[in-house]
Amino acid sequence: MMFQGETNYYEILEIRPDASAQDVRNAYLRLKASFRKDNPALYSMLDPGEAEDMISKIEEAFQILSDPDARRDFDERNGFADRIERKIFAIDRAPPVSSAPPMDGGGDDMLVAPATDFEGMSTRGETTQTGISAFSLPTQAPREPGSFLDTLPKAEPPASPSTPVAMSSPGLVDRRTNAFGRREADRAPPTLANPQVDPVAAEVMGETEWRGPTLRRIRELRRYSLDDIASLTKISKNHLLAIEEEAFAKLPAPVFVRGFILQIARTLKIPPEPVAAAYLARLSKRPGA
């Protein structure tokens, strides 16, 4: 189904050969989500079998590229090692994005200039000759929603200094993103500046208690209103509110609550079982339970 017969792992993951380990991971997660068979974006284009094929290609690519030894081996065998060196050479034309302000640091469009230069550079064929798409592709879904154009493709956190050039393009978009004026209120907490593919991932890392307020915070990060969740899960708004406020007395029997939490967790894309188990454990300890 791929447009060209022969491809390489970088093309499959839509990243450049000098992508950082984090880029690789982000691309992997994003692509896997894209080819999930219930994704409406596949409708009429890919049948479930083709989507499965893509997923297995993506898995294979990730397995190699996420393993430093296997990746080095792959780079050497396929002539990517040279290319990566050439990229570093291009630094003076495209200053590393790490010198730019962090993504939440304001929306001065002037800052886009160096990265724009980079874009022009790649259009001139720096990367086309290698068979990689001339334009670097988005390596990540938007981490936080907001208004129009907050979601320019290639949304990506600021680069780590180790891979200056590859990251400068995504960085560009982040700053463009700001240039389009993400509203302050829509801005996610600073944790989102961490290179996480998912706005919530940083938030939930190490979370074990899964309290109501945590669920609310995740919901807000996901930019769902209570009404959204209610319509998506068919759970009444009162129950949702009671869950978030841990107003246990207003909740039905634990078996129902468990069902609610599982549904909410799935909708919020957090691990359903641990969340439900932790929440229910607290529920069972409530006074009078």
Partner 1 sequence: MDGHPSLLGETRHPTTRRVRQIWAIGGGKGGVGKSLLSSSLAISLSRTGHKVLAVDLDLGGANLHTTLGVDLPRQTLNDYFSERVSQISACVSPTSIPNLEFISGAQDSVSIANVPEAQKARFMNAIREVDADYVIFDLGAGTASHTLDFFLASDINLVTLLPEPTSIENGYRFLKSAYFRRLWLNPRLHGARQWIEIAMDAKNNEGIRSPSDLFRAATRDNPDLAAVMKAEIERFRPKLILNQVRTHSDIEIGFSVKTVCKKYFGIDMDYLGYLDYDSAVWQAIRRKRPVMLEFPNSKLVTSIDRLVDYLLKKHADQRSSIL
Number of residues that bind partner 1 (CB under 8 A): 46
* DSSP codes joined into one string, 19-75: --HHHHHHHHHHHHHHT-TT-GGGTTT--HHHHHHHHHHHHHHHHHHTSHHHHHHHH
Binders of partner 1 among residues 222 to 281 (CB under 8 A) are 222-224, 228, 232
Q: Does 3 bind partner 1 (CB under 8 A)?
A: yes
Encoding tokens for residue 43? 């409708």
127 vs 214, which CB is nearer to partner 1? 127
**Distance from C-alpha of 96 to C-alpha of 90, rounded to nearest angstrom:** 10
70 vs 149, which CB is nearer to partner 1? 149
Task: Tell me the per-residue interface mask from 171 to 210 with partner 1, x by CB under 8 A, - otherwise.
Answer: -----x--xxx-----------------------------
- Residue from 17, 95, 96, 138 touching partner 1 (CB under 8 A): that is 138
State which H helix or E strand residue 122 sits in.
none
138 vs 164, which CB is nearer to partner 1? 138
- Residue from 20, 99, 133, 263 touching partner 1 (CB under 8 A): that is 133
Q: How many CB atoms lie within 10 A of CB 160?
A: 16
Side chain identity, residue 119: E
**Helical axes 212-221 vs 254-268, angle rounded to 10°:** 30
Binders of partner 1 among residues 27 to 86 (CB under 8 A) are 30-31, 33-35, 39-46, 54
DSSP 255: H
List residues binding partner 1 (CB under 8 A).
1-5, 14, 30-31, 33-35, 39-46, 54, 109, 128, 133-135, 137-138, 141-142, 145, 147-153, 176, 179-181, 222-224, 228, 232
